[in-house]
Structure 1
């Protein structure tokens, strides 16, 4: 796609920053709107507070260590830091809906009573500080100070809305991110990966109605969404083919299985300690996990450093190296890989359109072993692809989405036209009781003195599971608020948004399986009294009524709510997720 840079004035110039806050590793990339085709990922990371750039890596470890009150992060954590004090995997604690999985993912380390929101804010603050240092080095401090910066933060698609909101708020209060009012957009990780991966496909080999499954396999979560190509030119347009799925079966679970294996095999030997284990895990993470393939012979081995242990040939230990056999690696990998394969198979089965290919992205998605096992497990007609820079697909896609939001006409490369709703979304309202419709729920009907009739509270579902949802198509929900005239003017009114994540038809009456998604509060005090409806009820009392609409715009990973009264828009709606 040819980008008309001259159409962007100096007033439109922005720096778009993508932040891929991951379970085990995090990445940052950026681009300027006037040079949108030059995306840059940060690959040089600080190793100490005095050496701002030292370690070269496409991503930085998502871990913290509190040295007193000072938070060390990523590569700045010294090797001498006690392993039991290093905090890892804390990202997953943001989502309480993981339920029983919480006991498996509870972050380890000495956290000093700090809540997960504090951990996330401290980490994002450190990440942002290095981002600002890098931008000043690359662009110059005057440019960074004068040009607006917008952020696009990625979140797992399988997360609850509360977890996504927690992430946004933690980024909002991060100390190092400039201009506290700078926009922070949210995008789901698989959608960001899809924008990057689909843009990189051979345009000559694509056809309208081709369907691709994006498997974003990261450190903690695996997200899957199928996309159908609906238009090729001038912009590649796609829509979700079916509601996405996912699970907790990322590569961090391989690390945990490796740790358990190593402790069981040689953990009883003299000299086996946290420092040795940390070095072994580092070798497993950076080398072994990435080199292991399904074609390895059972007796092939990988050398794991175990300095300080005496030679034990019967255990595979010689000269400070432990020979990790391919057969052992197969046992470590297979349970986690099987979970991913089952998710892929289920998504292919759910999709009504034949899948042409599976795009593997994310750190775990770059695994040769996973790719080969998946290729052997699904229909041979379906190609399995690993796009270049698969580990950075999410963060690059985030930048591309931010550029598109900044200048849609000039900088959109891949447009997601429709998404599939993963839940039923609705509100609860009171309506006139009908014996034909509401008889099974007649016990909950009541007599309304104001309207002089029987009423019942039922669900008004404005989105149903599997519906097409587009950020270009707002949902308008009309309602009437009323208060006795004796109470005076309207103030703040509240209502709940409900969601049903169960695989069933939308219910008429709310039950225990319909959960509160968020509480909306709208300030009506600004509406002139002359625009209020004065109404005498059936009980003879006077009431004030106001007819309004709540506009809901469902984006990739967040929702915007706006109050509308007599075609006037009011940004007075706040949402509290629960």
Structure 2
């Protein structure tokens, strides 16, 4: 992935628009700001709807749903809530190879994401034109920060970026992928009371969203002039977001009401909307207001055994807890695992995201932790990701606008390349050696790890992956060079030799035809088997960013354009 901000001046006065897009599993949001007014962030909260009004629907986020009709495409609040059969939702999970839970599998997650992001972008441009005017919008560069789950694979992130490109985002500016929990952390840490912070304070940020839960730990290294932090441990996460509560509640409704006269898809859609917008956020066993857990079921006959009276279904605390507990327990286990993986004393757990606003999750988490660890739900937790993405974009556009500096990140896996090296009996497994006729020696496959899991990785300190390749002169000038970057996210210690835990992460391909004949002739050398070869020395320079990686190829001391990267 290319660095979206590579050509931007860090100190230039040029006006820019920074847009943060939180593309979520259940809801999506947009925030934006101008580099000339970085403190004036705007959240888009008016969305197109199916109502016969020009005012639209008012909410900080819009449903991540899409529907195709003979009249065209509908998205978000344009989709009538009573017509749920045709809608596509949760398709974001399909980008990561998870079930998209879509009733119509004819549309791929990639195409659904493209169409949805295109609709989101169109509304963004309409909103900006209304706020700024057409002439200003037309002449002002736009930089997009599109958020993705930190636990996603590089392949899933690449699919998201490709969908954004097809949706037209890159037609107006550059798009940079940023980590959802990192964006949320930057917004949340910036909002903490600075008088209560000190160097070496450590926090766990839990971004509990619709589909994924991402956790990341930070330690404060500097308070002024800018709050600087480092990742205290490799981030973790899982697929235990609030959509899995929705699935559990839908199964509960089907089991309880599926055989009742009058129960249909329209009633189910209304019940799910009540659960999604009200009950899911407010549920807490300690509350005395049980009316919060009633579901409108007009037309269903009274049934004392089922808890139906006057067109309302009462969901008991025990039933509600049965729906919540499996998902909440999984989140709690992830938080405990993140705390244990850090060698620092954690001061607080910060809950953000839509699911992070849930009272029951906060109560259960607080009860499970040591009293010295606070559990906090910061203001604007639902929009923290979009707001933080804008802050990240502002800091990249102009260094002096950075609100929080992430000095280093903790590698989530081992990164390296596989080399064929001379066998060393003191270092290598003798059972893996083989005889090389080309080099007239015993060789063995060895992993050259340039980043190990848990290593601090800095954006301004690119990693260099050195290699040498031999091309027989008899086969003509070499045309291309391919290198497989390997990774291992399972092994605690980086293995010496490739094993079942080591897999190909990305294949990098460089064009060797750009090397001049004169330079190529200088590389001629005899191999150990006496054959003349071109000996190509070089390295790949890898810059690891929030949620993307930039690769630069250096051959014979000459830097080439960003290489082609194909993720596996």
- How far the C-alpha of 1:94 sits from its partner, in A, is 1.0
User: In the alignment, what sits opposite 1:43?
Assistant: 45
Q: Which moved more, 1:356-365 or 1:566-575?
A: 566-575
User: In the alignment, what sits opposite 2:250?
Assistant: 259
User: In the alignment, what sits opposite 2:263?
Assistant: 272
- How far the C-alpha of 1:328 sits from its partner, in A, is 2.1
User: In the alignment, what sits opposite 2:427?
Assistant: 437
C-alpha distance 48-300 of structure 1, shift in aligned 2 (>3 A): closer
1:59-458 equivalences under 5 Å are 59-68=61-70, 70-81=72-83, 83-96=84-97, 102=98, 105-111=99-105, 113-175=106-168, 177=169, 179=171, 182-297=173-288, 302-408=293-399, 410-442=400-432, 444-449=433-438, 451-458=439-446
User: In the alignment, what sits opposite 1:13?
Assistant: 15
Q: Normalized against structure 2, the TM-score is what?
A: 0.94
CA RMSD of aligned residues (A): 1.9
Runs of 5+ in structure 1 lacking a partner? Answer: 1-6, 97-101
Q: Which moved more, 1:302-311 or 1:337-346?
A: 302-311
C-alpha distance 457-495 of structure 1, shift in aligned 2 (>3 A): same
Say if 1:475 and 1:552, in contact at 8 Å, map to a contact too.
yes
Are positions 1:516 and 2:512 aligned together? no
User: In the alignment, what sits opposite 2:539?
Assistant: 549
C-alpha distance 434-204 of structure 1, shift in aligned 2 (>3 A): same
Among candidates 528, 534, 546, match of residue 538 of structure 1: 528
Are positions 1:30 and 2:32 aligned together? yes
CA distance in 2, matches of 1:311, 1:225: 49
1:470-515 per-residue CA deviation (whole Å, 9 max, x = no partner) reads 1111001111122111233232110101111113321122122211
CA distance in 2, matches of 1:313, 1:134: 50
User: In the alignment, what sits opposite 1:99?
Assistant: none
Say if 1:300 and 1:326, in contact at 8 Å, map to a contact too.
no
User: In the alignment, what sits opposite 1:4?
Assistant: none
- How far the C-alpha of 1:247 sits from its partner, in A, is 1.0
Say if 1:89 and 1:106, in contact at 8 Å, map to a contact too.
yes
Runs of 5+ in structure 2 lacking a partner? Answer: 1-9
Say if 1:296 and 1:326, in contact at 8 Å, map to a contact too.
no
User: In the alignment, what sits opposite 2:4?
Assistant: none
Equivalences, count = 557
Higher relative contact order (CA 8 A, sep 6+): 2
CA distance in 1, matches of 2:565, 2:381: 35
1:18-73 per-residue CA deviation (whole Å, 9 max, x = no partner) reads 11111111111111111111111110000149866501111111111111483211
Say if 1:294 and 1:372, in contact at 8 Å, map to a contact too.
no
CA distance in 1, matches of 2:424, 2:338: 41
Say if 1:87 and 1:108, in contact at 8 Å, map to a contact too.
yes
CA distance in 2, matches of 1:353, 1:9: 39
1:282-318 per-residue CA deviation (whole Å, 9 max, x = no partner) reads 0111111222223125966522111121222332222
- How far the C-alpha of 1:183 sits from its partner, in A, is 1.5
CA distance in 1, matches of 2:104, 2:182: 35
SS in 2 for 1:435: coil
CA distance in 2, matches of 1:454, 1:195: 52
Among candidates 438, 447, 469, match of residue 457 of structure 2: 469
Say if 1:448 and 1:455, in contact at 8 Å, map to a contact too.
no
CA distance in 2, matches of 1:75, 1:497: 43
Say if 2:263 and 2:300, in contact at 8 Å, map to a contact too.
yes
SS in 1 for 2:551: strand
1:387-441 per-residue CA deviation (whole Å, 9 max, x = no partner) reads 1100000110111111111112x11110111111111111011212223322434
SS in 2 for 1:356: strand
Q: Normalized against structure 1, the TM-score is what?
A: 0.93
CA distance in 1, matches of 2:131, 2:289: 48
- How far the C-alpha of 1:452 sits from its partner, in A, is 3.3
